[in-house]
Each structure stands twice: as structure tokens, then as C-alpha cells.
Structure 1
Amino acid sequence: MIRPVFAALSHSFFSSLGIALFAFAIFPAAAQGQEIKVTLLGTGCPPAVMNRFGPSTLVEAGGQKFIFDAGRGALQRLNQVKVPWQAIDAVFLTHLHSDHVVGFPDLWLTGWLVGRPGRDRPLKVWGPRGTKRMMSFLEQAFEFDIRIRLDDDRAPPDGVVLIAEDITEGAVYQNSGVKITAFEVDHTPVKPAFGYRIDYLGRSVVLSGDTRISENLIQHAQNVDLLVHNVVSPETFQRIGVPPARAANIIAHHTTPEQAGEVFARTKPKLAVYSHIVLPNATEQDLIPPTRKTYLGPVELGEDLTVIEVGEKVEVRRP
């Protein structure tokens, strides 16, 4: 099912529409290649449920593929959408909470071994302070397995190499027209925590990561085509009997639907999509009506394997 969520075209757009349609007719593959394709691999949080795997997002642009966060089940979801792990160009981490990284060893090591061939080139990993140290410890933790796979399975030696880097706010990747910018968000006490903006040929996507209302995110997400934002539903904690003090602490680290609506109203994205749903038992009724108190524009509740194609229109395909 494909649903266009933005079709309002300015007069200036019509001046170039004829050229764009001509190009699409003559070079359809090239025109399609101007899109950014976003796949929500996992839209959940720490609870181990089957309908919402751990937070992870696949972004494809300019013939390149990037993973943002690698929560539980990221490799399985990647396999479901038939994207080979060896095709991933880089991994970007928003922060180092376990639910955002626990799927990384599986992506890294299983992806190295499985396939014809498995991954045969080093993997670049960018993230906040501590990322490089974490990757070095993972290499130590799996040293036995790595050595056996190299000696016995003859796995490609370059495929297990991690090239990790601790980043700061700013442009962290530029290649073939794709620009990825990291910006700090407010996930206090976790500092730094990043959101990411992906720009490609005039298209733009912002991934919030985990954050409460962030003025810095609002600045970086102005008039973006797609804003994927975290959300927390207070009602979900009440339904399963989480102690109020514990619930209040978790809620304070994220963004409620009403607060997210304020962010959307101020940034004016063509489409806003909820991901990293806290808690994963949250329903559309829990999230969308409260959002409407502060925002009347296009908004969707993301689910695992949802695909959003960002082109002249922003289109959503449900799994």
C-alpha cells in the first residue's frame, strides 16, 4: 500500500516539472535514484517483543546504504528486506544505550560469515564519545571466534575489521552527493546523544534518536522532507503497572506525543513518523490523538519494516 502524504507543489516546482518528467521518462532509473529510501528495521525499545524489534533504521541514498543504530534483531530485519549485510557502507550510532547497540555484534560477525561471500571489506562505525572504545572491547570479547573463523572457515580477513570513530557535532560523512550531519539532542543524562540529518540532491531526512524536546533538533529539522522522531506514551506505563516514579523518570528522557506535536508544528516536515516507541504496547490511539492537540499536519505511527520513499512526494509503504 502506497500513500502519498505530501502533494502541495509550489509555482516554482511546476517550472521544473516538465524537465523532471522528461528525465524520468528517458532515464527512469536515474530519476528513481534521486530518492532517499528509509526503512524502519526496528521501532521498539528495551522490552523483547516480536512486533517491535530494537531501534534501527536503514537509509539508502546515492547508491549507498547506512544503518542508524543496531538494536535487537537488526540483522533479521535487514534480511527480511533482502539487503545483504555486506552492502552496508557504514553504521551510525545515536548513543550507546544497550537497546541501540545490542544487535551490533550480530550484524558485524554473522554478516561477516554469512553470504556468498560474506562481508569482505572493513566496516566504518561512527558514534558519540565511547564508540571507538566499545568497538575495541567487542574485538577483544570475540577474539576467540574471530581467530577460529579466520583459521578454520577462511572468512575474508578484511570483513571483520572495524574502523570506529568518536564524532562531534557537524558534517560527519560526505560522498557522492550524500551528506550526513550529526547534531546533539537532549537525552540527559546521556551526553552526548546525537540525531542525524541526511541530505541528498535536495531531499532531506532527520532521525531524532532519543531525545526530549530539543531546540537543536528543531533548528536542524526545519522544513525537512521526513522527520523520524522518538515518542513515549505515559498511558502504556500505567497499563502494565510500572511504578509511577520509575515511569516518570523514563518519560522525562523522551518526548510525549503532545511535545512531539509542538516539534512538528515548529519544524513543518512534509511527513513526521514515530519510531522508537516507548513502550512498544502503545497504540495509534495512544499516540496520534494527543499529537493532534498541538499538530495538524501529516504524521504516521511507524512499525517494523515500514518503508518511506522521499522523492517529489513522500510515500509510505506498510509491511
Structure 2
Amino acid sequence: MVLLGTSGGPPYWPGSEREGISSAVVVGDRYYLVDAGHGVMRRLRGAELGTRFDTDLDGPLDALAGIFLTHLHSDHVVDLNNILTEGLYNGLQHVERVPVWGPGNRGALPPLFGAGPAPEPVAPQNPTPGTREITDLMVQTYATDFNDRLFDNRKPHPSDLWEAFDVPVPARYLTDPNGNPCPVMDPFTFYEDEHVKVSATLVYHAPVFPALAYRFDTDDGSIVFSGDTGPTPNLIKLATGADVLVHEVIDPAWPRSLFPEPRTDAQEGLYQHLIQAHTLIEDVGPIAQEAGVGTLVLSHMVPGNRPDETWEACGDGFDGQLVIGHDLDVLGIGTAA
């Protein structure tokens, strides 16, 4: 496994060298990308993934076997477009059609926080598109570029390069995105090839919905990515017995410093999202302990410009190994460790 980018949230943190959230699960000569935050293409080059990582007009995407998006917040998907567009000159044309998996359409606008009239939604005809729809819209957005590459450069058509899918969360868990965004459920397997089996579960990142965590089981071992989430029993079920749990974390001192009391409605809304829909430093270790994982790896750290000492307390209550993640860290899994 390679941690490509370990920064959390949309800010480009002052003084930080961390890129946006993204990781690669490497199995043999292939790898699977989890999330696509800012800087992922440069980090893929730096990680020397693929067989053409050091050539000018090819590149690391020649070994890409799949993309898995945990949720559709911009900091997790902002550079998906770079992979699908500029990927034409970074190796994407050398692979079989890449599956792109992620959450489906939310199906309803999130609730309005606070008093006052509701704002006019963006794209009211389809205000919460899912992964398949988003990639279709990207193709439309970059049609000028794609057609130039297709007609002038003789590059492949986008439909020959990838196919996007919405993760098939059982319908009974999708009925109430506002009232019950993380119903208790068992993990389910939705993807399998000769290298990996991938399972998922809903996690709590309200008002974002669906928000997913993923588990990759390989012949070498298993690794779980929490995605963005507050504590939830769903994640513990998914991670039980895994070799590695890659988990997000937030320093609660940061939102308190940003929004001291008294807070406006808007400030209160963001404050509550930050402390409830993410996992606090003091909660990460007990989650890993209950799941019985061997190694806890911190990534998607908020804020992304704090020293390692800030995160050391994440190991409290955990008997295994704690790794404070940094961009381009390489970690072996199970028998490959």
C-alpha cells in the first residue's frame, strides 16, 4: 500500500507538504486507487507506480486496475478529472477499461441547517448526481479536449478507457438519507477480480450520503479505508480482523479555535459537521482496538499542517502498531509486510 496524499479537507494547508487524500493498494503489478484528491497524478509519478512512470508521454496509469471513491466531497474527487482526461498522456490508454466505483445519487437535497429561507440549489434538475453521472458529466465538460485528442491525436474514446459504476448499497439502507444516513448494516462485497475482493459499508459523514468505507482482501492480507466518518459500528464490522486500518482523524482543538462560542447558525453547522462527521483523536485508537486490526494508519488528517506530535495520542487505547501517515509512505500488508 502507498499513501499518495494524506491531507484532509479542501484547504491547501499553509506550511504543509501533504497533497489531497488518495491511496494506492498495490497487488502484484497492478494497483487500485482509493480517492482522488488534489495532486494525485504527481504523487503517482513520485510513487513510481506502473511500468512507465519515468517516461514523458506515458506513465503510471498503465497499471491502474480500478478507482474507488469513498464519497463525493470535492477533496476526494477533485483530481478524478485529471486521471480521466490528462490520463490519456499518463498511461491510461495502455490498460483495459478501468472500473470507477463510488457512491450513487443521494436522491434528495440535504436538510437546511438553521433558520431562514432555503437557498436556490445548484443544478436543481439533478442536484445530487452519483459517481456514474459525475463521470458522464465530466466527459461532457471536457468534450472539446476529448474530441481534439480523438480526431487529431487518434487517442481512444473515453468509453474505451473506463466505465463508472455506483456501488450497489442494498436499497433498504438508502431510503432515508436525511433522517438515518448511516443505518446499522453488514458489509457487502461488490467487486472481485483475480487480485482483490472489495467490500463496502455505509459510514457516518452526514449530511453527505452515501459515504462509504472499503475493505480490500488480497492473497497477502486485508486493508480497510475508513473514508470520512464519525464513529460507527458499521466500520468496526468491516474492519474486524483486518491487517491494516487506514483511518481519518481530526484534532478537535482546531474547530474549537475556528469557531469559539457564541457561534452563528452557519458557524454552528460547520462546527457540528467537523466534530460529529469526523473522528476525534481520542476515538481513533479504541475503534482500531475493537476491530482487532494489527496496524492503525492515520491519513486524511485535519488540519493537514500539524506536527506528528499532535497525532500520537491516536494510539491511546490501541495495542497494535500506530503509523502517522505521510505522503508516499509505503506499507506492506499481511504476508507482504
What's the offset of the Cα at 1:110? 1.2
What's the offset of the Cα at 1:114? 3.5
Structure with the larger strand share: 1
* Aligned residue in 2 for 1:47: 11
Matched, 1:205 2:223: yes
Counterpart-to-counterpart distance in 2, 1:161 and 1:312: 33
Matched, 1:233 2:251: yes
What SS is found at the alignment partner of 1:59? strand
The question of whether the paired residues in 2 share the 8 Å contact of 1:226 and 1:271 is answered with yes
What's the offset of the Cα at 1:230? 0.5
- 1:61 is matched with which residue: 27, 30, 55? 27
Give the partner amino acid of 1:297: G
* Aligned residue in 2 for 1:140: 140
Matched, 1:304 2:327: yes
Counterpart-to-counterpart distance in 1, 2:48 and 2:327: 14
What's the offset of the Cα at 1:259? 1.0
RMSD between aligned alpha carbons?
Answer: 2.1
What's the offset of the Cα at 1:123? 2.4
The number of equivalent residue pairs is: 274
* Aligned residue in 2 for 1:183: 201
What SS is found at the alignment partner of 1:276? strand
The question of whether the paired residues in 1 share the 8 Å contact of 2:297 and 2:323 is answered with yes
Moved over 6 A (4+): none
TM-score (ref. length: structure 2): 0.76
What's the offset of the Cα at 1:185? 1.1
- State how 1:1-319 maps to structure 2 within 5 Å: 38-45=1-8, 46-49=10-13, 50-83=16-49, 84-115=60-91, 118-119=93-94, 121-129=96-104, 130-157=130-157, 161-169=161-169, 170-201=188-219, 203-238=221-256, 241-242=258-259, 245=268, 246-289=270-313, 291-312=314-335, 314=337
Q: Which runs of 5+ in 2 are unaligned?
A: 50-59, 105-129, 170-187, 262-267
What SS is found at the alignment partner of 1:230? strand
Give the partner amino acid of 1:44: S
What's the offset of the Cα at 1:250? 1.3
Worse overlay, 39-48 or 247-256:
247-256
* Aligned residue in 2 for 1:10: none
Counterpart-to-counterpart distance in 2, 1:180 and 1:282: 32
Deviations 1:30-70 (A, max 9, x none): xxxxxxxx101111121124511111110012443110110
Judged with a 3 Å threshold, the aligned counterparts in structure 2 of structure 1 residues 102 and 158 are, in CA distance, closer, same or farther, namely closer
Judged with a 3 Å threshold, the aligned counterparts in structure 2 of structure 1 residues 187 and 149 are, in CA distance, closer, same or farther, namely same
Judged with a 3 Å threshold, the aligned counterparts in structure 2 of structure 1 residues 80 and 173 are, in CA distance, closer, same or farther, namely same
What's the offset of the Cα at 1:146? 0.2
What's the offset of the Cα at 1:252? 1.5
Judged with a 3 Å threshold, the aligned counterparts in structure 2 of structure 1 residues 160 and 101 are, in CA distance, closer, same or farther, namely farther
What SS is found at the alignment partner of 1:192? coil
TM-score (ref. length: structure 1): 0.80
Give the partner amino acid of 1:251: I
Structure with the larger helix share: 1
Counterpart-to-counterpart distance in 1, 2:315 and 2:21: 25
Judged with a 3 Å threshold, the aligned counterparts in structure 2 of structure 1 residues 179 and 121 are, in CA distance, closer, same or farther, namely closer
